């Protein structure tokens, strides 16, 4: 099998394609605010209350932001299940649209399948054995198509 047919696997920020992780340190501007990472934005949007969102936005690490977002002592917004994919899409598109080097890296994957390869998550990732939904990988491939289309329209 040639490289062109091999899926692009990512998970840890310290490994190949680690930039695709929401923990990668690329601050994004969304809704007039600077978010330290796309993970911060995603986790904060789980809540409607400004104080919860701001507390997460101000966290120094994406891991701590994720922990805060998963803490069910904070009241999760009622529509979270129906909006979470759209929130993730906004976070990912913002990141790849705001950094030229990330856009180029994403476009360099061609038509290869992109997979968040982890046993820790079978919704956003592949569950470690390809049984998961790989929603983050799917969103990355969607964004890649969108960015490619924009690039083609601008030439």
Alpha-carbon distance of 124 to 23, in angstroms, equals 13
SS3 state at 115? strand
Q: pLDDT for 122-150, tens place per residue?
A: 999 999 999 999 999 999 999 999 999 99
pLDDT in tens, 14-62: 999 999 999 999 999 999 999 999 999 999 999 999 999 999 999 999 9
Global pTM value: 0.95
């Amino acid at each position: 099998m040639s490289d062109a047919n091999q899926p692009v696997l990512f998970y840890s920020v310290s490994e190949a394609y680690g930039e695709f992780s929401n923990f990668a340190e690329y601050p994004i501007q969304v809704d007039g605010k600077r978010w330290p990472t796309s993970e911060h934005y995603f986790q904060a949007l789980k809540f409607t209350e400004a104080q919860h969102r701001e507390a997460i936005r101000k966290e120094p690490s994406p891991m701590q932001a994720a922990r805060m977002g998963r803490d069910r002592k904070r009241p999760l917004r009622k529509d979270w299940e129906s909006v979470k994919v759209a929130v993730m899409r906004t976070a990912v598109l913002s990141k790849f649209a705001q950094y030229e080097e990330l856009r180029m890296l994403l476009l360099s994957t061609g038509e290869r399948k992109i997979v968040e390869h982890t046993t820790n998550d079978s919704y956003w990732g592949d569950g470690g054995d390809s049984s998961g939904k790989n929603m983050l990988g799917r969103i990355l491939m969607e964004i890649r198509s969108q960015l490619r289309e924009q690039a083609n329209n601008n030439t």
